[in-house]
Chains A and B, each alone.
Chain A
Amino acid sequence: MSKKTKLVDKKGIRTDGRELKDLRPVKLEIGILGNANGSAYIEQGKNKILAAVYGPREVHPRHLALPDRSLLRCRYHMAPFSVQERKSPAPSRREVELSKVIREALEPAIFLEEFPRTAIDLFIEVLQADGGTRCAGVIVASLALADAGIPMRDLVVACAAGKVDGQLVLDLNDIEDKEGEADVPVAYMPNFDSVGLLQMDGLLTVEELEQTIDLALDGCKRIYQLQKEALRGKYLAIREEVQEE
């Protein structure tokens, strides 16, 4: 791995001005699409991602329907303009993989067995990408599912941690992801202390990996609180408005 840029300076400040264990600023919005059953939007640093949920609804094509539970279908897609160099709108190998791992991270959270022979369609559209989009995708997707009124065991959160310039850091951005030593995204359900997604790209020792996972889980717990605030916010705003009248 060739070093081009200095990613962490002597004071432990990263390229975007954060300290090693800081998260990027997160902005969450709920229910922003009129035609979807549930939707959410996230801005995490320079990431901008939309999620939409349709269903549960009839399964088309019919033969995909499962007799004992609902079918969760997930499409993670990056807009052609979401990255520096135009990306082909056709689903790439990477997008197919991310669709699968995001789906598998969310599946255990949903009471799929309550709605056999139906489908829940989930669309995650990355409008602007700056590293860690699979984690941000999981965060918005679970908010969109909650907004759609789909019963869930817990909200699913995700956050990455990794190693950059020899230091363990939280919530990597694009340049840290590309030029750093390692990136470990983790998806997590806090109520059950269960991990639904764990990947590693790069090199870490066993001890470093353990520390990195702990760091990522800590980030998850912080974002979890933001998710809950965002969900409540949608309805609290109306309630306060009415009380003022």
Chain B
Amino acid sequence: MCSTSLNPQEKSGKISEPAMPDFKTITIVNSPFYLRHDTGSNHPESSERMTAVMNRLLSEGGAKSGLGLPLRLIPPRMAEREDVVSLHTENYLMRFEEACLSGKEWLGHSDNRISYDSYEAAFLSAGAGLTAIDFLENGSKDPIFCCVRPPGHHAEAALALGFCFLNNVAIAARYWQRRYGRKRIFILDFDAHHGNGIQEFFDEDSSVFYVSIHEHPTFSFPGTGWANDTGTGAGTGFTLNIPLAPGSSDDVVIKAMESQVKPALTAFQPDAMLVAAGFDGHSLDDMSGLAYSTRLYAKLGSYLSVWAGICEDRLVSILEGGYHLEALAAGVEAYLMGLALKV
């Protein structure tokens, strides 16, 4: 054995402590009420999703995750009606509420399963983003994650689509602008599916920059998000769609983050950032043909943690899709680890 391979500590008979990675405290916005949005049996957007993520995160009784991430759990508040009607129509909200209370099984399309409590759960899901924004604006610099359902990014002004009813991210963006005067909002959506709702709401709006990295619309739900959709009118140039071929894995996303997202972010100079965090691009998740690994989510978290410096760490992440329970829980944890890592 060659002696040069030994490190000096071993020679002196002492082994120093390896440096442990240090994490910021992560705030999780979650409510058990989310479980009461009941989508029936055999539905991919099930309450088990929430349970899987929360069990994973709270595996040491709530103070720390299995990976040792320090956590703080806060309850969401309900979104106010005025927060929601700035985006969704009164008529749609009435139909939605009426459908839930009258015992209908779905809204608009049989995909969008509802139960008696779904309307309230949706307002509580939208409210989590607002709670998170208030928390940050009260002085927190720590990463914050809204662990919510139903998801939101497919929902449009008067349309429930793809298991989504209220557009949580869009509602949060408008709230941030209106309540705190953060004028320029940058949204990154890394769910495997294009967030047609977010794009639609801000299509003509130059104050919100929407970036989506998703499986190509020729193959994937909902069939929108073409690379040449870049916004309309005053919003031209404020939408960036990055469609990926089926089978795309981590390296393609990392390349897109470096070569497309980063320049867009730098040029836009936002006052605040929102992330539509979906975990269905994972290779185990058959709701898309993308082949991401769990590691990618850690990488995305660390990019965002650093890049949020551009807007004084005003960054809120909101859960969207992710339907393979194990991959979802692992993906969320990896993402939070990336977000929280102190460098």
A and B form one complex = no
Interface residues of B (CB under 8 A from A): none
Interface residues of A (CB under 8 A from B): none
